[in-house]
Structure 1
Amino acid sequence: MTNETQDAVSNVETEYLQINSTETWPLIYQHIRHESCNFEYTLNESKKLQNKILNRYRDVAPYDHTRVILKKGPCDYINANLIKVERAHRQYILTQGPLPSTAGHFWLMVWEQNSKAILMLNKVIEKNQVKCHQYWPLESSSSHTMMFPDVNLKVEFVSKTQSSDYTTNTLKLTDMETMESRNILHFHYTTWPDFGVPQSPTAFLRFLVDVRSSGALDINVGPPIVHCSAGIGRSGTFCLVDTCLVLIEENGLNSVNVREVLLEMRQSRMGLIQTPDQLRFSYAAIIEGAKGLPSNNNLEIDSITNHYDVVNNEILSNSSLEDDDEPPPLPPPRGDSLTRSMMADLTPSPITENENGIGPPNKPLPMEPPTSTDLIKNTVTTITNNTHDNNSHDMIILDSTKSDDTNSNTNSNSESSPSDKSEIRHRHQHEKKERIAAQVREMKRRQKESEDWKKFKRSLFMPVTIGIGTVLIGGGMIAIYGYFYSRG
């Protein structure tokens, strides 16, 4: 590695440590999302009636100008985009996890694009929900063959290699018209949680080395098919890390600005990288990889990896503590907010397959969160109406338990005696006071973070508005606290 490349890594590492020290990953990520909102690309094909049922999530659709067009079969539509980064000599096809009704389309795309490999970054079932159809034959199945008559293709299991974090399957894809066959590599990363990140960059980099060594990313073969459930979060993370490492390896110091590369890739498919944690992980993996991609058998862990592990463990630990008092959460929709414990769940349920594997629910998922002004305005209206209707002087606060608590209170009060009602009311008032105290502590922490942020490098991002309002009604205080992270 050249000195210039080492300097480039040092700059990225410095940026990573600065953002970490000020805990401003959400604000960096919000700035990226804000920039992406300026894109004016159309989604017309995805909105056609016959194509709507072919999308796993209604808020994740392929841009028209980069969508993959199928050449034969029942239709030309598939929820997939071709992403090209010319200066890195890289191209990828990012797509959703197939539905039962689109599995044939998926394999037709693999065939027509002459792809050598499929990179699957999710499990079939996550958080008790089907996130992807079982579209390939398993070694353990009675028949090692799957037929897709709608596209006249056959897929056969050939062999499997098991690693600690991923499985590599070799599959044989055959065109039943011409009887031509090809071997397809199926890299299945099994330890990457939905909306999350791997525990450490090291295992991910081993996976990347294995994929690169197979030739699946070479320019003399078709683009690899990369997918998770929606084809934007984990898939975008993989492509960002790989592309930035290529740029650093080939061009050195002035070749890579991680956020610029991500924005460039977002012009080909919407919403790439869904959470601030995925962005933070991307930086850490780029830093480690640029110091020398690890071999499969020998990986030296340095200070950034150790630092990442410590911070990641703290985040996981704090997250579990915050959730101790809440019921087990449902799997979030693709556009779910990162601040589940700080605001009510304002989004519909995620789209899942019905028993036939086809069709989204009646309610669409919003692609973008409401603005701070809109949310506060709506909240004030709702609280005011509730106050007039119920003559309530209780303190109302936005948190993830509000909806559940309200429902449980209503059911309990309708069946309880007056003494029980009084006891329940006192208990809930006590619980609300505890929540309020926690919210106040959080507000103070956020205020301090905001003050620290003013001292941060102005060139890193545009500031995000933090709104705090207090309203007095009939002796009771209504505290409204809004702090908005982004949703991808």
Structure 2
Amino acid sequence: MTSETPDAVGNVETEYLEINSKGAWPILFQHIRNESANNDYTCNESKKPENRHLNRYRDVAPYDHSRIVLKKGSSDYINANLVSVEGANRRYILSQGPLSNTAGHFWQMVWEQETQAILMLNKVIENKQIKCHQYWPTEDQTNQLMIFRDVNLEVEYVSKKNSTDYTTRTLRLTDMDTKESREILHFHYTTWPDFGVPQSPTSFLRFLVDVRSSGALDQNVGPPIVHCSAGIGRSGTFCLVDSCLVMIEKNGLNSVNVRDVLLEMRCSRMGLIQTPDQLRFSYAAIIEGHRELPTITVNGDNNLEINENHYDVVNNTNNSSSSSSLSSEDEEDEDDDDDGDEAPPLPPPRGDSLTRRMLSNSTSSPVTENENGIGPPNKPLPMEPPTLNRNNHNDNNIESVNGTIDNSKNSLTTTSSPSSPDSQNGIRRRNPEKLKKQVQDIKRKLKEAEDWQELKRSLFKPVTIGIGTMIIGGGVIALCSYLYLRG
């Protein structure tokens, strides 16, 4: 850690405060998405017919150049990428939450990559949907052992330790062919909502410090496996904050460009960080972590303490309760092994879940702050640019909505009722409301483009008045004076 004083204001905090004051997080987030989409990375392996059913979402695929390649078995494919952050000397494996038919592949990856810890940032069931297969044994099961015969590996429950926001398990992974065993740590963050952010940077930092103190992120062990449901939103947030804090510890707060680090990470796995709130939280956690990480200590019972005196300085708009407290329907047992988590023939797009969340927010009662208690109300954002074929298919894991999402136009197209006269006669009439909404969308996009240009000028390209400008201006004034006198 550098000798910088806690009250020092660096580029990260200056940028955070300016973007926050302008409410420009959606604009910055969209700029990052647009810039990261300008690449020629391929996802050919994920598109192969024999691999499609191994993907949880058909629009979240691993890039070919950084994908994890399994070394044994009938297939070498798994939806996971190695993400390296050069400036922090960090390596992570970001993976989708295992399906029932890929749980064995997941543990094979743990074994082959010599991973010491798994970081799970989601619950098994969220919003009444299965987000991840139950791939580990628990203390509640009869024999506390799971056998994956397709890869000849077995996983045994050893112990568990509960903290406020997460659970730390110790599991024993054994190769049934060689009888060699290893102990794997399973850090399970249970209060981080899908597409959302933790309750506060401090609760997240407690989790991060516990993971770091285990040695799971060190260079002398295999890369940790970080996953949520898709392995891009919450997983990307964790890796971005950890990497930036490492770089700050080496070179100081002014040395880090968060936007560039995220763009670097997105070169290894698509779509990392999925919402403007997650981007905003990442900045807040980085600033708070720079101030507070030296004061966090691990007690003998492995409970973490943190000084929260500076929190309101960073997140001074977070005055309402967080939405990470789950409803009663979401409090289902996260350790239940649901037999219905079969891999769909063609998995649903991840973007549908985000779109439904936005639509739900838009129809709820008006609020002065968004559901995470920070910033302006949520508004729909364009979805992640598609990289895979998004053909429409039914899937039992996705709840139905009134309408279909047209991803190419980022708009909601309401389907006509089969019993309506227009649909029976084959006549398609113009919908005034739809036309009005399209006009509003065009105006909104133009306004966002103008706002982004203004933000870039204020943040990244300060306007300066040069000597040449003064000379030209003086010449114009002299010419006008001359013409006036002659007239």
So what's the TM-score if we normalise by structure 2?
A: 0.71
Q: Measured at CA, do residues 2 and 304 of structure 1 come closer, stay the same or move farther in structure 2, by a change above 3 Å?
A: same
1:245 aligns with 2:245: yes
Deviation at 1:450, TM superposition (A): 8.2
Partner of 1:82: 82
CA contact (8 A) 2:27 2:451 kept: no
Deviations 1:134-164 (A, max 9, x none): 0000111112000000000000000000001
Moved more, 176-185 or 293-302: 293-302
Counterparts of residues 72-471 of structure 1 (less than 5 Å)? 72-293=72-293, 294-295=296-297, 296-305=303-312, 308=315, 310-311=317-318, 313=320, 333=352, 336=355, 339-340=358-359, 341=362, 369-370=407-408, 395-396=433-434, 456-458=455-457, 460=459
Aligned to 2:65, what secondary structure does the other structure show? Answer: helix
5+ residue gaps in structure 1?
A: 321-330, 380-384, 400-438, 463-488
Deviation at 1:89, TM superposition (A): 1.2
Question: Aligned letter for 2:128?
Answer: N
Moved more, 117-126 or 11-20: 11-20
5+ residue gaps in structure 2?
A: 298-302, 328-349, 363-378, 384-389, 415-421, 462-487
Q: Distance in 1 between matches of 2:134 and 2:77?
A: 20
Q: Distance in 2 between matches of 1:236 and 1:344?
A: 19
Question: Aligned letter for 1:77?
Answer: Y
CA contact (8 A) 1:343 1:398 kept: no
Partner of 1:31: 31
CA contact (8 A) 1:105 1:151 kept: yes
Deviations 1:172-225 (A, max 9, x none): 000000000000000000000001101111110000000000000000000001
Question: Aligned letter for 1:216?
Answer: A
Aligned to 2:167, what secondary structure does the other structure show? Answer: strand
Question: Aligned letter for 2:136?
Answer: W
Q: Distance in 2 between matches of 1:28 and 1:391?
A: 38
Deviation at 1:99, TM superposition (A): 0.3
CA contact (8 A) 1:43 1:61 kept: yes
Partner of 2:54: 54
CA contact (8 A) 2:2 2:250 kept: no
Q: Measured at CA, do residues 350 and 275 of structure 1 come closer, stay the same or move farther in structure 2, by a change above 3 Å?
A: farther
Deviation at 1:456, TM superposition (A): 3.7
Moved more, 48-57 or 287-296: 287-296
CA contact (8 A) 2:206 2:305 kept: no
Q: Distance in 2 between matches of 1:92 and 1:352?
A: 31
Give me the CA root mean square deviation. 4.0
Partner of 1:325: none
CA contact (8 A) 2:205 2:285 kept: yes
Question: Aligned letter for 2:355?
Answer: D
Q: Measured at CA, do residues 271 and 11 of structure 1 come closer, stay the same or move farther in structure 2, by a change above 3 Å?
A: same
Q: Distance in 2 between matches of 1:454 and 1:108?
A: 48
Q: Distance in 2 between matches of 1:35 and 1:178?
A: 47
Q: Measured at CA, do residues 450 and 48 of structure 1 come closer, stay the same or move farther in structure 2, by a change above 3 Å?
A: closer
Partner of 2:42: 42
Q: Distance in 2 between matches of 1:115 and 1:72?
A: 17
Question: Aligned letter for 2:181?
Answer: S
Q: Distance in 2 between matches of 1:170 and 1:315?
A: 30
So what's the TM-score if we normalise by structure 1?
A: 0.71
CA contact (8 A) 2:126 2:194 kept: yes
Deviations 1:320-360 (A, max 9, x none): 9xxxxxxxxxx972563875326799999898677xxxx9x
CA contact (8 A) 2:199 2:322 kept: no
CA contact (8 A) 2:62 2:269 kept: yes
Aligned to 1:34, what secondary structure does the other structure show? Answer: helix
Aligned to 2:156, what secondary structure does the other structure show? Answer: strand
Q: Measured at CA, do residues 9 and 306 of structure 1 come closer, stay the same or move farther in structure 2, by a change above 3 Å?
A: closer
Deviation at 1:255, TM superposition (A): 2.9
Q: Distance in 1 between matches of 2:430 and 2:281?
A: 45
Question: Aligned letter for 2:352?
Answer: P
Q: Distance in 1 between matches of 2:4 and 2:125?
A: 44
Over the matched positions of the two proteins, sequence identity in percent amounts to 62
CA contact (8 A) 1:58 1:351 kept: no
Q: Distance in 1 between matches of 2:211 and 2:156?
A: 21
Q: Measured at CA, do residues 124 and 396 of structure 1 come closer, stay the same or move farther in structure 2, by a change above 3 Å?
A: same
Deviation at 1:300, TM superposition (A): 1.9
Partner of 1:327: none
Q: Distance in 2 between matches of 1:136 and 1:238?
A: 22
Aligned to 2:269, what secondary structure does the other structure show? Answer: coil
Deviation at 1:454, TM superposition (A): 6.2
Aligned to 2:292, what secondary structure does the other structure show? Answer: coil
Q: Distance in 1 between matches of 2:309 and 2:221?
A: 35
Q: Distance in 1 between matches of 2:5 and 2:177?
A: 50
Deviation at 1:226, TM superposition (A): 0.4
Question: Aligned letter for 2:197?
Answer: V
Deviation at 1:298, TM superposition (A): 2.6
Deviation at 1:85, TM superposition (A): 1.4
Q: Measured at CA, do residues 157 and 316 of structure 1 come closer, stay the same or move farther in structure 2, by a change above 3 Å?
A: closer
Question: Aligned letter for 1:289?
Answer: G
Question: Aligned letter for 1:336?
Answer: T
